[in-house]
C-alpha cells in the first residue's frame, strides 16, 4: 500500500475530531460502527432557531403526537376553574380552605386570631400537601398561643373527620377532610414507654388498617399514643389511619351506622427531628459539622369519646360535651371581667347612695381616701426620722384580734409640739401634734399633691417629700412608713 494514502485509523481519528467539533452525534456513532465513513454524505441536523422550541423533534415522532381535542381542553379548563373556586371562594360557615400553595405561617396566624376571637377554627383539607400544611399551621399556632394565652395543661389540637360536601350543582358529593381546632388537655406521656406509645406512619394504603389497629390498641391500653411521620404522603395516610382507629374504638363500644362517623380521636401536631438512616463517617465530616437531621411531624393522639358528643360533628354540642371540653382562657377571662365590672358598678352605686345621705358630694380628688379620713378621723404624725410628716388613720378595722401580740415597739422621743400617742388599730404609738387640725377636704394628700398609701404600715398615707436628693424608701428593716429625705 502506498505511503501517500492515509490509513483507515487516521481517517477514523480525523472523523472523530470533526464530529466532536460540530457536535454531530450521528457521525460520531458511525465512526465507531463502520470505521471508515470518508465516502458517506455528511448531513447536519436542523438547528432550532431562537424563536422556535428548544426541543428538536425527530421526523418519525412528529406524526405520533395526539391531535388537539377541543372537548378535552374545555374539560381540563373547567376542572381547573372548579378547583380554583374551591380554594378561593369564601365559605359561608367561615371554614378555611387549605391549598398546597398556602403558607403555613400565615395560616397559623389566622388560626390564632380566630381562636382568640371566637374560639373556633375549622379547616377544609384536600390532598397530601394540604394536609401537611394544615398540621404545620396548627403546630405553629400552638407555639404562638403558648405562654401568652395558653398556660398550664392546655394544648391546641385538632379533631379530624370526613364530611360529604357538594361544591356546586354540577359536582357530585365528595368526602372532604375537616380539621376542627380545639383546646385539649395535655396528655401524660411520662409514665408510658416508647414501645407502648409510638407508631411509625406508613406510606402505603395497604398497611393503613394494620396501623389503625395498632393505634387503637395503644389508646385502649394507655392514655395517649404518638404517630411519627415525615413527608406529606405519610402524614396524610396517618390522619386517615387515625380516623379508622376511631371507627374501631366506636365498633368496640357497639356503635353502628352514623355513630361510627363521630370523631373519637384528637391529634396535637408538633415538629419532630429525625436522625438520618445513613450516618456519615466522622472522618469525612468537617470540623464542627453535625449529623444531618430531617424534620417531620409528631402527632400525639388522645381519646375524646367522652368529650365529643354524637351531635358535635354536625356543629351542635350538648351540655355534657361543653362541660367536658377545656374552656378557652380568654373566654373565661372575658366572663370574669364582665362579672367583676357588674359587681363593681353595683357597689359603686350603693356607696354613692350611702354617702349622699350623710355629706355633701366631694371632689374627684377626695375619692382616693376612705370616709373616715374625709370625716376628719385622722391625725398628722411623724415618721421614724422625726422629720417626715404622714397621715395616720385613727380607727382601722374593728375585727383585728391579737394582731400586735408579737410586735415589739421601741421607745419614742418626740420633738417639741408632738407627743407619743397610742391609737386603736395600731400596734405602736406615734408622735402626734394634736394642735394640727385636719379639714374634711384635705389638699395635701388627696391625689392632687400625693395621697399614696404606705406599703409598709397599714392605714398610713404619705405626703410628698419634695426632697432635693434621692429618697430613702421604707422597708421592714429600717422601720419607716413613708419615703424620707436623706440627712
Average pLDDT over residues 467-487: 82
- Rounded to the nearest integer, the mean pLDDT of the chain is 68
Tell me the C-alpha distance between 432 and 419, whole Å: 5
| Pick among 3.30.750.200, 3.40.50.10380, 3.30.750.24, 3.30.110.20: CATH of 82-275+293-312 | 3.30.110.20
371: Cβ–Cβ under 8 A, 6 or more apart, which residues? 355
Tell me the C-alpha distance between 423 and 419, whole Å: 12
CB–CB of 96/110 below 8 Å? yes
Tell me the C-alpha distance between 471 and 473, whole Å: 6
Residue spans of the domains in the chain: they are 1-40, 82-275+293-312, 362-400+411-487
The 3-state DSSP class for residue 453 equals strand
User: How confident is the model over 54-66, as pLDDT tens digits?
Assistant: 443 333 334 444 5
pLDDT surpassing 80 at residue 158: yes
Cell of 22: 460540530
Highest mean pLDDT among 3-12, 329-338, 340-349, 435-444: 3-12
Q: What is the pLDDT of residue 284?
A: 66
Q: What is the pLDDT of residue 120?
A: 80
Q: How many residues does the chain have?
A: 487
75 versus 448: the higher-pLDDT residue is 75
Tell me the C-alpha distance between 286 and 296, whole Å: 26
- This prediction's pTM: 0.47
DSSP 185-248: EPP--TTS-HHHHEEEPPSSGGGHHHHHHHHHHHHHHSSEEEEEE-SHHHHHHHHHHHHHHHHH
CB–CB of 238/201 below 8 Å? yes
pLDDT surpassing 60 at residue 282: yes
418: Cβ–Cβ under 8 A, 6 or more apart, which residues? 381, 382, 431, 432, 433
Residue 445 exposed, middle or buried by CB count within 10 Å (0-12, 13-18, 19+): buried
Count of other CB atoms within 10 angstroms of residue 475: 10
Amino acid at each position: 500500500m502506498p505511503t501517500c494514502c492515509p490509513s483507515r485509523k487516521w481517517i477514523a481519528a480525523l472523523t472523530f475530531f470533526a464530529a466532536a467539533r460540530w457536535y454531530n452525534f450521528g457521525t460520531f456513532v458511525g465512526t465507531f460502527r463502520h470505521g471508515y465513513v470518508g465516502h458517506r454524505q455528511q448531513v447536519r441536523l436542523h438547528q432550532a432557531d431562537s424563536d422556535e422550541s428548544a426541543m428538536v423533534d425527530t421526523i418519525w415522532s412528529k406524526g405520533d403526537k395526539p391531535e388537539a381535542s377541543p372537548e378535552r381542553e374545555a374539560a381540563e379548563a373547567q376542572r381547573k376553574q372548579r378547583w380554583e373556586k374551591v380554594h378561593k371562594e369564601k365559605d359561608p360557615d367561615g371554614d378555611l380552605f387549605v391549598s398546597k400553595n398556602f403558607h403555613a405561617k400565615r395560616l397559623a396566624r389566622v388560626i390564632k386570631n380566630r381562636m382568640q376571637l371566637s374560639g373556633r377554627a375549622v379547616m377544609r383539607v384536600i390532598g397530601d400537601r394540604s394536609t401537611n400544611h394544615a398540621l404545620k399551621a396548627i403546630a405553629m399556632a400552638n407555639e404562638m398561643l403558648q405562654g401568652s394565652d395558653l398556660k398550664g395543661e392546655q394544648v391546641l389540637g385538632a379533631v379530624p373527620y370526613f364530611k360529604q360536601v357538594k361544591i356546586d350543582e354540577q359536582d357530585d358529593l365528595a368526602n372532604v377532610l375537616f380539621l376542627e381546632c380545639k383546646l385539649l388537655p395535655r396528655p401524660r406521656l411520662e409514665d408510658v414507654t416508647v414501645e407502648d406509645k409510638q407508631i411509625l406512619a406508613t406510606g402505603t394504603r395497604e398497611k393503613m388498617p394494620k396501623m389503625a389497629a395498632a393505634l387503637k390498641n395503644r389508646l385502649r391500653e394507655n392514655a395517649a399514643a404518638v404517630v411519627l411521620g415525615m413527608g406529606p404522603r405519610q402524614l396524610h395516610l396517618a390522619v386517615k389511619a387515625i380516623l379508622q382507629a376511631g371507627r374501631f374504638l366506636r365498633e368496640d363500644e357497639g356503635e353502628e351506622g352514623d355513630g361510627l362517623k363521630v370523631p373519637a380521636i384528637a391529634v396535637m401536631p408538633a415538629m419532630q427531628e429525625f436522625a438520618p438512616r445513613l450516618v456519615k463517617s466522622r472522618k469525612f465530616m468537617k470540623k464542627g459539622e453535625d449529623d444531618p437531621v430531617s424534620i417531620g411531624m409528631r402527632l400525639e393522639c388522645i381519646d375524646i369519646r367522652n368529650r365529643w358528643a354524637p351531635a358535635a360533628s354536625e356543629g351542635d354540642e350538648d351540655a355534657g360535651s361543653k362541660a367536658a371540653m377545656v374552656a378557652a382562657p380568654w373566654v373565661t377571662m372575658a366572663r370574669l371581667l364582665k362579672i367583676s365590672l357588674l359587681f363593681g358598678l353595683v357597689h359603686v352605686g350603693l356607696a354613692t347612695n350611702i354617702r349622699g345621705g350623710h355629706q355633701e358630694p366631694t371632689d374627684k380628688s377626695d375619692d382616693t381616701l376612705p370616709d373616715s379620713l374625709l370625716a376628719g378621723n385622722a391625725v398628722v404624725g411623724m415618721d421614724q426620722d422625726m422629720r417626715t410628716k404622714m397621715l395616720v388613720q385613727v380607727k382601722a378595722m374593728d375585727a383585728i384580734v391579737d394582731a400586735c401580740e408579737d410586735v415589739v415597739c421601741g421607745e419614742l422621743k418626740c420633738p417639741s409640739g408632738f407627743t407619743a400617742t397610742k391609737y386603736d388599730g395600731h400596734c405602736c404609738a406615734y408622735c402626734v401634734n394634736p394642735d394640727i387640725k385636719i379639714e374634711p377636704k384635705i389638699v395635701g394628700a388627696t391625689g392632687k399633691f400625693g395621697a399614696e398609701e404606705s406599703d409598709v404600715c397599714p392605714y398610713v398615707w404619705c405626703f410628698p417629700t419634695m426632697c432635693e436628693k434621692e429618697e430613702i424608701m421604707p422597708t421592714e428593716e429600717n422601720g419607716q412608713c413613708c419615703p424620707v429625705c436623706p440627712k
